[in-house]
Amino acid sequence: MKAVILAGGLGTRLRPITINTPKTMVPVLNIPFLEYVIRRLSRHNVSEVVLALSHLPQPIEDYFGTGSRFGINLNDSLEETPLGTAGAVKNAERFLGKTFLVLNGDIFTDLDLTAMMDFHSNRESKVTIALTPVDDPTSYGLVETNVQGRVIRFLEKPSWSQVTTNMINAGTYILEPDVLSSIPPQTNFSFENEVFPPLLEQGKPIYAYPSHCYWMDIGTPEKYWRLNKDLLSGRSNQYHSVAQVVIGEQNNIHQTAKITGPVVVGNNCTLERNVRLSGPAVVGSNGKISEGAVVEDSIIWCAIDIGPGATIRRSIIANNCRLGAGSIVEDSVLGDNVTVAEGYKLEPDSRIWPGTRVG
């Protein structure tokens, strides 16, 4: 089995943390999001993976290389202009040639891919679409099926009056290769709007594979933070830790620092006297949290410098940020290289673009 991962999105809703970092490379418990996706494919015996790339491809290519250290053979398919979900897969057609998986690169899920492959094969389906339940289906694409699981209707982003099911398109597909013949080359084309509905009208067998496993779309800072929190609390089978506090290597943590889990700390970090770090929280590598600083319920990326007595609560702080002594950041998202002046209290719900100095 082969797979295509759609990894070319701009990450617009995740800004400012995706200005310099591709959406698929945002760290989840200090590991790039895309690494979870690729390792899960390897566990389900997918041996060849194609990354459909567009926005900021270089960091992805540099990190994953040929894929050998993840147990797969990895190829890159670069789009000069965004081609949409179907257009991106058409662009990667030269790497395919048999039944293959397509995965949205911003979906974290525990979906049993092996069981889904068997389901697809047993029904001789042309397309199989994974489904997941959500509380509010109006922001997604609904998929209606009959009792055998065969799709009878698609409904994109319905109003509440149109909602007949809470099962939505979960962003994982299995396709037969001839489906690609209906997609024009080098054209922005969508599976959801321009491929699947016409196939359905032609009477082609399209089936849905429902699953109630863990599923999260990381498209917004709130959902990105929720994913980290869910993993720390054990809601997914892709992260297991007996310890409530996981500390990396070569850290310098003062004996008076108080760490309350669940917390993950990267490598080469310094936590000075009387620091208070309270979970759920994630701290990246090469950071410094100075004397008396407080970090609660937050995600901190790499190489951050938190000044004495500073406070961070319920926030996401990207790489190389500097928070002055006594500064306060709450309910906010800071891009790379942001500086918060000494003693300054940032307005709650702020979104600070990379390179900005505030206060």
Query: Mind listing the pLDDT tens digit of every residue in the chain (359 residues)?
Result: 899 999 988 888 999 999 999 999 999 999 999 999 999 999 999 999 999 998 889 999 999 999 999 989 999 999 988 899 999 999 999 999 899 999 999 999 999 999 999 999 999 999 999 999 888 878 777 888 898 899 998 887 777 877 778 888 899 999 999 999 999 999 999 998 899 999 999 999 999 999 999 999 998 999 999 999 999 999 999 998 888 999 999 999 999 999 998 999 999 999 999 999 998 999 999 999 999 999 999 999 999 999 999 999 999 999 999 999 999 999 999 999 999 999 999 999 999 999 999 99
- For the chain, give every residue range classified as CATH 3.90.550.10: 2-232
First to last CA, the chain: 54
28's CB contacts (< 8 A; 6+ apart) are: 36, 108, 218, 224, 227, 228, 231
Show the tokens assigned to 235.
């809601």
Show the tokens assigned to 304.
């951050």
152's CB contacts (< 8 A; 6+ apart) are: 144, 145, 146, 200
The answer to whether 141 and 155 are in contact (CB under 8 A) is yes
Residue type, 296: E
What does pTM read for this prediction?
A: 0.92
- For the chain, give every residue range classified as CATH 2.160.10.10: 245-358
Q: Quick one: DSSP state of residue 157?
A: S
Coil, helix or strand at residue 137? helix
Q: Which whole-number Å values give the CA distances from 130 to 24, 30, 170, 179, in the listed order?
A: 20, 28, 5, 17
Q: Quick one: DSSP state of residue 166?
A: S
Residues in the chain, overall count: 359
Q: How far apart are CA 305 and CA 302, in angstroms?
A: 9
Candidates 157, 229, 288, 345; catalytic one: 157
2-232 in CATH: which number? 3.90.550.10
The answer to whether 190 and 198 are in contact (CB under 8 A) is no
Q: Give bridge partners of residue 60 from the DSSP assignment.
A: none
Torsion angle (degrees, nearest 10) of CA 141, 146, 153, 203: 130
* Range list of β-strands (E), 94-166: 100-104, 107-109, 127-133, 141-145, 151-156
Tell me if residue 157 is catalytic. yes
Q: Which fold has domain 245-358?
A: UDP N-Acetylglucosamine Acyltransferase; domain 1 (2.160.10)
